[in-house]
């Protein structure tokens, strides 16, 4: 009698355990002069066999790869995402257009303006990297990865 209830729960738990995690490397301290531009490069990777939608997915319902900086002394000027690959997957219909995806190792580069009146010394820039990992059969719930970097304002 418990089997019909337990089976869906077991599938959910197994799926949650199999959801891949994006690995994000620690960002080394960035030295920046007041009034200059600082560049921060975030290096990340997905496990083999998984992909994430690019920052500009081909369909509006797909969850994009995003990096949002939310705190710190610098002013964000621009973010450069990795060049995506256009791929078709077994779960797609023959007439579906290829998906814009990121696989393997990739980098996201952010340029910041250091205010001329910035307080000197170490400070922290913080943000969130959001992605949805998928394999050839399924997509997993989106994940948010906190990111931070120490900036030494000189």
Report pLDDT digits (tens) over 100-145: 999 999 999 999 999 998 888 898 999 999 999 988 888 899 999 9
Q: Which fold has domain 20-153?
A: Immunoglobulin-like (2.60.40)
Backbone angles phi, psi at 107, to 5 degrees: -130, 150
pTM of the model: 0.81
Domain coordinates of the chain in residue numbers?
A: 20-153
Q: How far apart are CA 101 and CA 54, in angstroms?
A: 5
CA distances from 59 to 36, 96, 140 (A): 38, 10, 17
- Mean pLDDT over residues 78-98, rounded? 89
């Amino acid at each position: 009698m418990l089997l019909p209830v337990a089976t869906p729960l077991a599938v959910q738990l197994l799926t949650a355990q199999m959801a891949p995690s994006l690995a994000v490397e620690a960002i080394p301290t960035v030295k920046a002069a007041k009034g200059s531009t600082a560049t921060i490069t975030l290096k990340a990777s997905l496990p083999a066999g998984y992909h994430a939608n690019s920052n500009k997915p081909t369909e509006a319902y797909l969850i994009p790869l995003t990096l949002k900086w939310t705190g710190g002394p610098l002013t964000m000027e621009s973010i450069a995402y990795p060049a995506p690959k256009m791929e078709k997957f077994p779960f797609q219909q023959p007439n579906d257009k290829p998906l814009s995806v990121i696989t393997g190792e990739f980098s996201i580069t952010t340029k910041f303006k250091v205010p001329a009146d910035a307080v000197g010394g170490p400070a922290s820039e913080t943000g969130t990297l959001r992605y949805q990992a998928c394999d050839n059969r399924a997509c997993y719930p989106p994940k948010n990865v906190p990111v931070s970097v120490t900036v030494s304002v000189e």
